[in-house]
Amino acid sequence: MKSSTFPIGGIHPHEWKFAAESPIEDFPLPEEAAVSMAQHLGAPAEPVVAKGDKVLVGQVIGRATSFVSAPVHSPFSGTVKAVEPRADIAGNMVMHVVITVEGDEWLPEIDRTPDVPMEVRFSAEEIIAKIKDAGIVGLGGAAFPTHIKLSPQKKAECLIINGTECEPCLSSDDRIMREYPRQIIMGARLMMRALGTDTCYIGIEENKPEAIRALGDAAAYWPGLQVVVLRKKYPQGGEKQLIDAIIHRRVPSLGLPIDTGAVVQNVGTALAVYEAVQKNKPLIDNVFTLTGPTLEVHRNFRVRVGTPYSKILAFAGNLPDGPCKLISGGPLMGKAIANIEATTLKASSSLLIITGDMVPRNQEMTCIRCGKCVEACPMGLEPYLLNRLCRAGGRQDELEKERIYDCIECGCCQFTCPSYIPLLDMIRTGTAEVMKIMRSRPKK
C-alpha cells in the first residue's frame, strides 16, 4: 500500500483528534425533540403527521416531495406536540415536527439484533428503493440524497468510500470505522451492487492506523474492495480531491464526479446503507463528536436526529467565562450555531466548542501578495484576486472568467492567509451572484 494524495493545494492544520479514543456511547433521549423537515439538499420533506398523533421510532413523519428530496422518519417514540416552523442553527425558520418523547418503542420490522448479515439478498433496484425509503442522505456534510447518487446518468466504474475525515477535531468517522468495520464493508458491497461495479476503494488518511487495520481486515474477505492509505492533507475528504488522490482523474470544471467514473460515499453513509438494507432501519441517528481544543471532555455519541444542541452542550462540563464559539461540523467547514435550541440533523457530525483566545477573529490587514492562498487552493483558483473582484462589486463577468464557481468553500485560503483576510466570506458572496447569473441564462 503506497500513500498518495491530491496534487494541488491543500493545507496541514493541527489534527486535534482528541475524541478518537473515546468509544461511541448512546446519547440519552431528550424529553422533547424537534425533527427538521429540511434535512437534505433539495426540496424539504412534507410532514405527514399532525398534532396529537402517536409515533414510533422509524415511522415516516415527512415524505419526499420531489426528485431531489428524501423522507424523514421519527427518531423517537411519543406524541407529536406540534408541526410548526422553528429556527434552525442559522436562525432561519424551517418546518419542524416537535415530538414529546415517551419511552423508546421501535417499529417491529426493524431488526435490532446485534448479528451482522453479510449476504447480499437484493437486486440493484431493490437496494436503491430501500435506500430511498430509508431517507438516507450523504453523511459527509452536504446531505445530498444518496439514492440519486447511486443512480448516475453514466456507468460507474468504481465506488469510493470516503473515510478520510480530514477536518481537525472530528473523530466520528474514525470511531465508526473502528467499531463497525464489517457493517461498513457490507454497506459498500450493497452500494457496489446498486451501481453494478466490482471495484471499491476505501480512502483513509494515514493518521488513523486502527481504522485502516480494522477496515483492511474486514475488506480482505471480499474481492474488489481495497483500502487506500492517503497522506494527511486537508481537504482530502472533498469529493473532487478524493477522486484525484485515489484514481488520479480530475473532475472537469462544472462537471460531476461521475464524469470520472467514480461515485464517492462517506463511511457514515455506508453504515446507514447497511442498516437500511440489512436491518430495515431508516436513518434516524448518527455518530456525533463532542469536542473542543480547550475542553476536558471529548466524547463520541450516537445521537438521534432532532436532539437539541443544548442537551449535547450540557455534557461538555463547565465552560470557562467569556464568549464561546459553537460550531456544528468541523472547524474549517462547519457552521457556527446561532441558536442553541436548534436540533441536530441527519448530516450533523459534531458539536465543536471553541473558547478563550481562539474565539475572536484576528484583525484584518492588507494583502501582501505573498501568494499563499494561491498555493493552498485545491481547485487552482486565485483567492486573492477573487476577493478583490468580489469587493469591487459588479465584476461578475471577470469572476466567471476566473472560475469562481469552482470554489468548494474548503477555507484553505482563509486558513493560510497571514493577513487574516476573510477571503472565503467574500468569495462566497461572489459565487452566489455569479451562480445566479449563470442559472438565469438559457440552456444550450
Contact pattern for other proteins over residues 171 through 190, marking x by CB under 8 A: --------------------
Q: Which three cell numbers stand for residue 288?
A: 456525533
Q: Is 327 in the site for other proteins (CB under 8 A)?
A: no
Place of cell 477573529: 361
Residues 245, 247, 252: CA angle, nearest 5 degrees: 85
With H, G, I as helix, E, B as strand and everything else as coil, classify residue 340: coil
> Cα–Cα distance between 11 and 436 in angstroms, integer?
30
Q: How many CA atoms lie within 13 A of 348 on its CB side?
A: 34
- Reference 111, options 262, 274, 241, 220; nearest CA is 274
With H, G, I as helix, E, B as strand and everything else as coil, classify residue 388: helix
The residue type at 66: S
Q: Is 388 in the site for other proteins (CB under 8 A)?
A: no
Scanning 28-36, 198-206, 301-309, 360-368 for contacts with other proteins by CB under 8 A, the matching segment is 360-368
Q: Is 428 in the site for other proteins (CB under 8 A)?
A: yes
Scanning 56-64, 65-73, 152-160, 425-433 for contacts with other proteins by CB under 8 A, the matching segment is 425-433
Of the pair 220, 359, the CB lying nearest other proteins is at: 359
> Cα–Cα distance between 173 and 20 in angstroms, integer?
9
Length of the chain, in residues: 444
Q: Which three cell numbers stand for residue 121?
A: 439478498
- Reference 92, options 348, 433, 349, 338; nearest CA is 338
Scanning 46-54, 224-232, 334-342, 377-385 for contacts with other proteins by CB under 8 A, the matching segment is 334-342
Contact pattern for other proteins over residues 81 through 120, marking x by CB under 8 A: ------x--xxxx---------------------------
Scanning 155-163, 179-187, 193-201, 358-366 for contacts with other proteins by CB under 8 A, the matching segment is 358-366
Scanning 211-219, 235-243, 353-361, 374-382 for contacts with other proteins by CB under 8 A, the matching segment is 353-361
Minimum Å gap between C-beta 215 and other proteins is 36
Q: Is 319 in the site for other proteins (CB under 8 A)?
A: no
Of the pair 91, 103, the CB lying nearest other proteins is at: 91
With H, G, I as helix, E, B as strand and everything else as coil, classify residue 117: coil
Of the pair 382, 433, the CB lying nearest other proteins is at: 433
> Cα–Cα distance between 194 and 203 in angstroms, integer?
20
With H, G, I as helix, E, B as strand and everything else as coil, classify residue 390: helix
Q: Is 438 in the site for other proteins (CB under 8 A)?
A: no
Exactly one of 253, 364, 397, 437 binds other proteins (CB under 8 A); that residue is 364
Interacting residues with other proteins (CB under 8 A): 87, 90-93, 323, 335-336, 338, 359-361, 364, 422, 425-426, 428-429, 432
